[in-house]
């Protein structure tokens, strides 16, 4: 066993067994409500949601955004349709991050205004602030250490969302460019013309061909012939 000063490090097998017992004693929430809360623990600022839509967001608004992108990019193949859907999700998250950044800065401006009012300074409303006054109030966000840390976190998520959006655009445009340069499908070979089958009479098939057409006169009836034997036995006088 390894020792460090007066402390003794237990063997690895002991540590593994201890961790296994601790894991059995901490299995997480068991109720449906507890599991729901646990699954939404990362929704503190609405940027790490596993599902796309969070409370307050409209599914109809997202469908409208997606339809706008479909009309703009006109996806044809299954790959293009999939990438268009990913682009819609990335843009939705990017817009959300921008809204949260703006709300955070507005909150910081309000805190700075409240501080100035407590110090006896004039505190005009937001709609009465000039641009320099608004910037000065935002500056208070970066002077407060806790606000500066939160703003850095929001900026990281905003940057991630922006990169995801740009990557989705690039992939979709690449897929469409690849489709445009695909060789045109070869045309099928022409089907050879089949000569019509001439139906002939059975006599023609046997080598005989009628010499009469439909307008010819009927053939004369042949005269009967005498039996040669009977003709020889008749006396000349009887003839």
Q: Could you tell me the residue ranges of all domains in the chain? A: 82-182
Bridge partners (DSSP) listed for residue 7: 4
pLDDT of residue 215 exceeding 90: no
Greatest alpha-carbon span in the chain:
174
Predicted pLDDT at 234? 52
pLDDT of residue 2 exceeding 60: no
- Give this prediction's pTM: 0.54
Ranked by mean pLDDT, the top range of 19-33, 78-92, 104-118, 171-185 is 78-92
Instruction: Give the helix/strand (H/E) hosting 142.
Output: helix 131-143
Ranked by mean pLDDT, the top range of 25-39, 70-84, 109-123, 178-192 is 70-84
Predicted pLDDT at 193? 74
- Give residue 218's pLDDT band: very low, low, confident or very high (50, 70, 90): low
pLDDT of residue 164 exceeding 80: yes
Query: Taking a C-beta distance cutoff of 8 angstroms, is the pair 85, 170 a contact?
Result: no
Q: And the tokens for 174?
A: 């690449």
Nearest to 173 by CA among 72, 94, 46: 72
Nearest to 45 by CA among 104, 105, 112: 104
Query: Taking a C-beta distance cutoff of 8 angstroms, is the pair 143, 153 a contact?
Result: no
Predicted pLDDT at 129? 86
- Give residue 9's pLDDT band: very low, low, confident or very high (50, 70, 90): very low
pLDDT of residue 229 exceeding 70: no
What average pLDDT does the structure give for the chain? 74
| Cβ partners under 8 Å of residue 59, min gap 6 | 53
pLDDT of residue 88 exceeding 90: yes
**Per-residue pLDDT tens digits for 109-159:** 888 888 888 888 887 887 888 888 888 888 888 888 888 888 999 999 999
**Per-residue pLDDT tens digits for 37-75:** 444 444 433 444 447 888 899 889 999 999 999 999 999
């Amino acid at each position: 066993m390894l020792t460090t000063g007066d402390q003794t490090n237990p063997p690895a097998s002991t540590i593994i067994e201890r961790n296994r017992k601790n894991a059995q004693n901490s299995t997480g929430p068991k109720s449906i409500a507890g599991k729901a809360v646990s699954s939404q623990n990362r929704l503190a600022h609405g940027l790490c949601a596993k599902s796309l839509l969070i409370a307050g967001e409209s599914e109809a608004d997202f469908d409208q955004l997606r339809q706008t992108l479909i009309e703009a990019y006109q996806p044809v193949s299954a790959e293009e349709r999939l990438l268009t859907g990913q682009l819609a999700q990335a843009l939705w998250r990017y817009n959300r991050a921008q809204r949260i950044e703006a709300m955070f800065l507005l909150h910081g401006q309000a805190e700075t205004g409240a501080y100035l009012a407590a110090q006896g300074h004039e505190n005009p409303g937001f709609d009465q602030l000039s641009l320099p006054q608004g910037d000065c109030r935002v500056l208070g966000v970066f002077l407060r250490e806790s606000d500066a840390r939160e703003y850095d976190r929001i900026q990281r998520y905003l940057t991630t969302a922006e990169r995801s959006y740009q990557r989705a655009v690039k992939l979709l445009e690449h897929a469409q460019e690849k489709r445009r340069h695909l060789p045109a499908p070869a045309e099928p070979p022409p089907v050879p013309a089949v000569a019509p089958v001439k139906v002939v009479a059975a006599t023609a098939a046997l080598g005989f061909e009628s010499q009469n057409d439909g307008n010819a006169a009927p053939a004369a009836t042949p005269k009967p012939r005498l039996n040669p034997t009977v003709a020889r036995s008749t006396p000349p006088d009887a003839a």
